[in-house]
Amino acid sequence: MPHTKLIQAALAAREQSIAPYSKFNVGAALLAASGEIISGANVESASYGLSCCAERVALFKALTDESKSRRDFTAIAIASPGGAAPCGACRQLLAEYAGKVEVILIDSESPENSTVTTMDILLPNAFTGDDFPEV
Ligand code: THU
C-alpha cells in the first residue's frame, strides 16, 4: 500500500514541530484501522529532558481522543531529516500500543525516499506487560 496520504500527514505535522534547541523537526502520523489519521510533532523544553518526540505526541493524542476508534493502529509514518528511526522510549510505547504497525520512515529532504520496517524489527521481544500476574 503506498500510504501517500499518511506520508503527507507526517510531513504536514512536521511543520508544527517546536524544536528551537535541536532544530531537528519531526512529524509523525498514525493510521487507525478506521482510516482516521492522527498526527503529532516533537515539542522541546528549555529543560531539554522534558522534550517529547513526535511519535509519542501523536500516540498520546490518539489514545486519549474521545473516539475509541482511534486506538487500533495499522501504520505510522515518521518524517525527519534523514528519515531517523524512533528513539528507544518511543519504541517501547509503540510496541505496547501500536505493536502491529508498519513503520514508514521518511526523509523530509527527499520524501520519495521512504523505508518500511516493523515494530518487531525495531524492538524484538518487547516487554508489553503481558507477563503481569492476574490481580
Ligand atoms: N525526536 C523525535 O521527535 N522523534 C524521533 O524519532 C527522534 C527524535 C525529537 C526529539 C527532540 O525534540 C529532537 O528530535 C532531537 O532529538
Please give the DSSP secondary-structure letter assigned to residue 65.
S
- 13 CA to middle of ligand 1, Å? 13
Q: What is the CATH number of the domain that holds 58?
A: 3.40.140.10
pLDDT tens for 16-28 read 999 999 999 999 9
What is residue 9's three-state secondary structure? helix
Local confidence band at 7 (pLDDT 50, 70, 90 cut-offs): very high
Ligand 1 centroid, distance to 30 Cα (angstroms): 16
Q: Is 16 within a domain?
A: yes
- Does 134 fall in a domain? no
Cβ-contact 101, 76 below 8 angstroms? yes
- DSSP structure class, residue 43: B
Our count of domains for the chain comes to 1
Question: Which ligand 1 atom is the nearest neighbour of the CA of 22?
Answer: 15
Reported pTM: 0.96
**Is 79 domain-assigned?**
yes
Q: Domain span at residue 12?
A: 4-129
135, part of any domain: no
Q: Which residue has the cell 489519521?
A: 37
Ligand 1 pocket by Cβ (under 6 Å): 19, 22, 24, 26, 42, 44, 51, 53-55, 84, 86-87, 90
What is the atom index within ligand 1 of the atom nearest the CA of 90?
6
95 found inside a domain: yes
Categorize the per-residue pLDDT at 40 as very low, low, confident or very high, splitting at 50, 70 and 90.
very high
Q: Is residue 50 part of a domain?
A: yes
Provide the strand spans (E) within the chain: 27-32, 37-41, 73-80, 102-107, 114-118
